[in-house]
Copies of this chain bind each other. A is one copy, B any other.
Amino acid sequence: MTSLRDVLSRRRDDVPFDVVRAAYCELHVSNLEASRHFYVDLLGLVESARTADTLYLRGWEEQTHHALVLRERPTVGAARLAFRVRTPGDLDAVEQEFVRRECEVERVSGALAGMGDAVRVWDPFGFPLEFFHEIARFPTQLQRFDLHRGAPIMRFDHLNIHAPFVEETTELWLDLGFHCTEYISTDGDGERLTGCWLSRKSLVHDVAMTAGTGPRLHHTGLATADPLSVLRACDQLAAAGHADVIERGPGRHGVSNAFFVYLRDPDGHRIELYACDYYTGDPDHPPLRWSVSDPSCRSFWGAKAPDSWYDESSVVLDRNGNPTPIGEAGVDERTARSVLMA
């Protein structure tokens, strides 16, 4: 019988395209100036471009045009989870893959500043994905230490989603060539997956998912250089009178080893600032399992996450910018845990 570990350990060698990494997230916000204040003034992200209703931001080491796109729209939500592919040919191959899967697929060109062709897809679970190759570049500011502000935030790292069908959703990402680095599952017979971390870029994750009401975006992960940067972000936010945006942490995750803090932007979109990733690029790097009944997987030091961290997430938007209806999860991590620990 095939175990969950076997399934998660398998590597697809025959994927006809090469996804390089998760690259950016487009969020619809209710007030662009309020969002700008949060992301630029408070967190110190770098502005790459701005139009009347859209702001393009990147981290201090990033050379690609944007890591975060903020767009003022009547309906707030996550509009786009975007991934870069290695070549223009990979883009065609991705398009074919999703056409084959009978998903809604749209090819756009220059839809965002600094970008060429992109393939937009609404995946079978309702997540609004985008794949692209071409993007404008800036010189690195990694060593402009004299200009760095905020934590500082160095680069985009990952997307974390709430998925009602976490096992099926994981299967999709494995099919896209991602490999599982860590996962959380129930104990005993009928092992169920409750969380999964999947990577392309040789670190812990480009995309991760937690069983939960969805499709929703749980958070966008932004990388800082070290744990002290995370502490500095908290100090600066609090000093500026915005301690209320700190939802959880700072703390250490068991899963991923992340030293994290979770922030909520003016529309409630969740941002993780994190440090302490590790290398996962070896071909036989095995998935690391955590039991859902082991509280250290979420909080290595034992601090309980607030319920909002489990319950609240950004809705994702459909082709018309409307919220995608959400469904309940088959497995809830907290329920699974409490049942098992009872």
Chain A interface (Cβ within 8 Å of chain B)?
20-21, 61, 63-64, 84, 86-87, 133, 137, 140, 142-147, 154-155, 201-202, 225-228, 231-232, 234-240, 243-244, 246, 250-252, 254, 257, 259, 276, 278-279, 281-286, 288, 295-296, 299-303
Residues B252 and A234 in contact, CB atoms below 8 Å apart = yes
Whole-angstrom CA separation of A254 from B143 in the bound complex: 8
**Of B143, B225, B250, B281, which one neighbours A300 at CB under 8 angstroms?**
B143
Point out which of A147, A237, A283, A288 has the most chain B C-beta atoms below 10 A from its C-beta.
A283
Contact A296 to B20, CB < 8 A, known contacts A232-B145, A238-B302: no
Could you list 17 further interchain pairs (A-B, Cβ under 8 angstroms) beyond the known A145-B236, A250-B250?
A20-B282, A61-B279, A140-B278, A143-B235, A143-B254, A143-B300, A145-B232, A145-B238, A146-B236, A146-B239, A202-B202, A226-B226, A234-B300, A238-B296, A238-B301, A243-B296, A243-B302
Query: Cβ of A283: which chain B residues have Cβ within 8 Å of it?
Result: 20, 86-87, 133
Query: Cβ of A235: which chain B residues have Cβ within 8 Å of it?
Result: 143, 145, 252, 300-301
Residues B282 and A63 in contact, CB atoms below 8 Å apart = yes
CB of A185, distance to nearest CB on chain B (Å) = 18
**Of B144, B236, B286, which one neighbours A239 at CB under 8 angstroms?**
B144
**Of B63, B225, B284, which one neighbours A285 at CB under 8 angstroms?**
B63
**Of B61, B87, B279, B300, which one neighbours A243 at CB under 8 angstroms?**
B300
Top 6 A-B residue pairs of the complex, sorted by shortest distance between their CB atoms: A145-B235, A243-B302, A146-B239, A145-B239, A146-B240, A226-B226
Q: Which residue of B lies closest to A245 (CB)?
A: B302
Residues B201 and A281 in contact, CB atoms below 8 Å apart = yes
Whole-angstrom CA separation of A288 from B143 in the bound complex: 12
Whole-angstrom CA separation of A318 from B173 in the bound complex: 46
**Of B63, B142, B259, which one neighbours A257 at CB under 8 angstroms?**
B142
Residues A20 and B300 in contact, CB atoms below 8 Å apart = no
Residues A147 and B239 in contact, CB atoms below 8 Å apart = yes
Residues B303 and A142 in contact, CB atoms below 8 Å apart = no
Query: Cβ of A282: which chain B residues have Cβ within 8 Å of it?
Result: 20-21, 63-64, 84
Contacts A/B (CB < 8 Å), 22 sampled: A21-B281, A84-B282, A86-B283, A142-B278, A143-B239, A143-B254, A143-B257, A155-B278, A155-B279, A201-B202, A201-B281, A202-B281, A225-B226, A226-B227, A227-B228, A231-B252, A234-B252, A235-B252, A238-B296, A243-B299, A243-B300, A243-B301
Whole-angstrom CA separation of A86 from B232 in the bound complex: 35
Contact A302 to B246, CB < 8 A, known contacts A63-B282, A144-B239, A276-B225: yes
Contact A20 to B302, CB < 8 A, known contacts A288-B140, A296-B243: no
Point out which of A142, A143, A296 has the most chain B C-beta atoms below 10 A from its C-beta.
A143
